[in-house]
């Protein structure tokens, strides 16, 4: 198990390195970093100082090393618009994003999984068909459409909830629902098929033939086994949460990391984009690592098997 953890950790570190390398390469390809980050009309001395600080007059390998070094200390330069260190801008927005993504994740899991299990247990019933029909909407409807529809219904027509801004907890409701509901639908669908596959296994039939009550068959045999593929999907969901946050925060004017990314891209504020890339990559990698650990803990085959290649 330790070996498994170590190899996953190594993989996580490599992924982050890869992401930063990607940022470095793209940055170099797109033009002179000094000019791009500092904007064209900065005074020549400032540009020169920037060049020196970032070693832009040095061979490419040295540049790469110093870039990675800077990245790991969180130094990405200053935001073009703000003048403040990019990393600061990013980190101060993280809590706001967490405030809607974490509840959304809870919603996805709390709504999606039970719905999927119920649908699987009552296969082909009305509830099952309705759940499946509704869940199709989950992945065909883009989040911005859902967001705008919710705004149209709840804010404009019914007036129950505020349309945008972040002044109160009530403002968070629509963003959370938008983020969570789409994923809940996918979650339900997936859980249902995982459960169905497990229920079709011979060991389920064997257990109930032994005389084990159906409830116990579900709780002791079916659910734990279905949990395994479900956990991997949760890892997936985390990724889509991040992507979803970008759009949702923009629609609802929620001051989180996603909204910052959009404005940074629009303004080509590259220091901020790089800082964001790093923070997002790091959190995704950590989240995936946690999921991998959970997966490894749940699946005894993974625990005792050699760390595969």
Partner 1 sequence: MALRDTLAAPLPTSILRRWIRPLARWPLGVLLAASWLALMVIVALGADLLLPYSITAFDLKARLSPPLFFGGSLAHPLGTDELGRDVSARLIMSIRMSLLIALFGTLIATTLGTVLGFLAAHFRRWVETLILMAIDFQASMPFMIIALSVLAFFGNSLPLFIGLMGFHSWERYARIARGLTLAANEQGYAAAVRQLGAKPGRIYGLHILPNIASTLIVSMTLTFPEIILLESGLSFLGLGVQPPLTSLGNMVGYGREYITRAPWIMLAPATVIVLTTLSISLLGDWLRDKLDPTLR
Partner 2 sequence: MSALVEAIDLRRHYAVHVGRGPFTAKATLRAVDGVSLRVERGRTLGLVGESGCGKSTTGKLVLGLIPSTSGTVRHDGTDMPAINTPAWRALRLRMQMVFQDPLGALDRRLPIGQQITEPLAIHGIATTVERRERARAVMEAVGLQMHQFGRYPHELSGGQRQRVVLARALITEPDFLVCDEPISALDVSIQAQVVNLLLDLQERLGIAYLFISHDLKVVRQVSHEVAVMYLGRIVEQGEAESLFAHPAHPYTRALVSAIPVPLSAQGPRRERLLLQGDPPNPVDVPRGCAFHTRCPFAIASCRVETPALRPKADGRLVACHRVDEPALQVAA
User: Interface with partner 1 by CB under 8 A: which residues?
Assistant: 11, 14-15, 18-19, 22-23, 26-27, 29-30, 36, 136-137, 139-145, 148-149, 151-152, 156, 239-240, 242-243, 246-247, 250-251, 261-262, 264-266, 268-270, 273, 277, 280-281, 284-285, 288
Tell me how far, at minimum, the Cβ of 84 lies from partner 1, in Å.
18
Tell me how far, at minimum, the Cβ of 53 lies from partner 2, in Å.
38
Q: Residue 29 or 60: which CB sits closer to partner 1?
A: 29
Q: Is 6 in the site for partner 2 (CB under 8 A)?
A: yes
In angstroms, the CA 55 to CA 269 distance is: 20
Q: Is 7 in the site for partner 2 (CB under 8 A)?
A: yes
Residue 169 burial (10 A CB sphere; 0-12, 13-18, 19+): exposed
Residue 191: both structure tokens together: 């859980």
In angstroms, the CA 162 to CA 173 distance is: 9
Residue 52: both structure tokens together: 């020196």
Q: Is 13 in the site for partner 2 (CB under 8 A)?
A: no
Residue 79: both structure tokens together: 């935001």
**CB-based contact 38:80 (threshold 8 Å):** yes
Tell me how far, at minimum, the Cβ of 302 lies from partner 2, in Å.
13
Q: Is 240 in the site for partner 2 (CB under 8 A)?
A: no
Largest distance between two CA atoms of the chain: 83
Q: Residue 6 or 137: which CB sits closer to partner 1?
A: 137
Q: Residue 19 or 198: which CB sits closer to partner 1?
A: 19
DSSP code of 78? Answer: B
DSSP code of 111? Answer: I
Name residues contacting partner 2, limited to 250-309 (CB under 8 A).
306-307
In angstroms, the CA 309 to CA 306 distance is: 9
Phi and psi of 78, rounded to 5°? Answer: -105, 150
Tell me how far, at minimum, the Cβ of 3 lies from partner 2, in Å.
4
DSSP code of 307? Answer: -
Binding at 270: pick from partner 1, partner 2, none (beta carbon under 5-8 Å per type): partner 1
Tell me how far, at minimum, the Cβ of 210 lies from partner 1, in Å.
30
Return the H-helix or E-strand segment holding 13: helix 2-29
Q: Is 3 in the site for partner 2 (CB under 8 A)?
A: yes
In angstroms, the CA 101 to CA 280 distance is: 13
Tell me how far, at minimum, the Cβ of 224 lies from partner 1, in Å.
26
Q: Residue 153 or 307: which CB sits closer to partner 2?
A: 307
In angstroms, the CA 138 to CA 186 distance is: 6
Residue 224: both structure tokens together: 């734990």
Q: Residue 44 or 306: which CB sits closer to partner 2?
A: 306
Binding at 203: pick from partner 1, partner 2, none (beta carbon under 5-8 Å per type): none
């Amino acid at each position: 198990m330790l070996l498994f953890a170590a190899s996953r950790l190594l993989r996580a570190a490599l992924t982050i390195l890869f992401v930063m390398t990607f940022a470095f390469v793209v940055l170099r390809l797109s033009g002179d970093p000094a000019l791009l980050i500092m904007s064209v009309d900065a005074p020549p001395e400032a540009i020169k100082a920037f060049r020196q600080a970032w070693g832009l007059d040095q061979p490419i390998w040295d540049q790469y090393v110093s870039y990675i070094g800077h990245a790991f200390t969180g130094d990405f330069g200053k935001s073009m618009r703000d003048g403040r260190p990019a990393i600061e801008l990013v980190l101060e927005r993280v809590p706001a994003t967490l405030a809607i993504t974490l509840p959304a994740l809870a919603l996805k899991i709390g709504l999606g999984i039970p719905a999927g299990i119920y649908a699987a247990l009552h296969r082909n019933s009305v509830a099952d068909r309705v759940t499946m029909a509704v869940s199709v909407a989950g992945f065909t409807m883009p989040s911005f459409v859902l967001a705008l529809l919710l705004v149209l219904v709840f804010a404009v027509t019914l007036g129950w909830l505020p349309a945008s801004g972040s002044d109160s907890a009530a403002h968070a409701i629509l963003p959370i629902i938008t983020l969570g509901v789409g994923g809940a639908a996918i979650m339900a669908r997936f859980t249902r098929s995982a459960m169905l596959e497990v229920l079709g296994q011979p060991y389920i039939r064997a257990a109930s033939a032994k005389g084990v009550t159906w409830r116990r068959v579900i709780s002791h045999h079916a659910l734990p086994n279905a949990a395994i593929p479900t956990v991997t999907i949760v890892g997936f969901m985390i990724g889509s949460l991040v992507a979803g946050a970008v759009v949702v925060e923009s629609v609802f004017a929620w001051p989180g990391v996603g909204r910052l990314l959009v404005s940074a891209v629009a303004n080509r504020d590259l220091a901020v984009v790089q800082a964001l890339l790093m923070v997002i990559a790091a959190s995704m990698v950590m989240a995936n690592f946690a999921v991998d650990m959970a997966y490894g803990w749940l699946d005894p085959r993974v625990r005792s098997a050699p760390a595969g290649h």
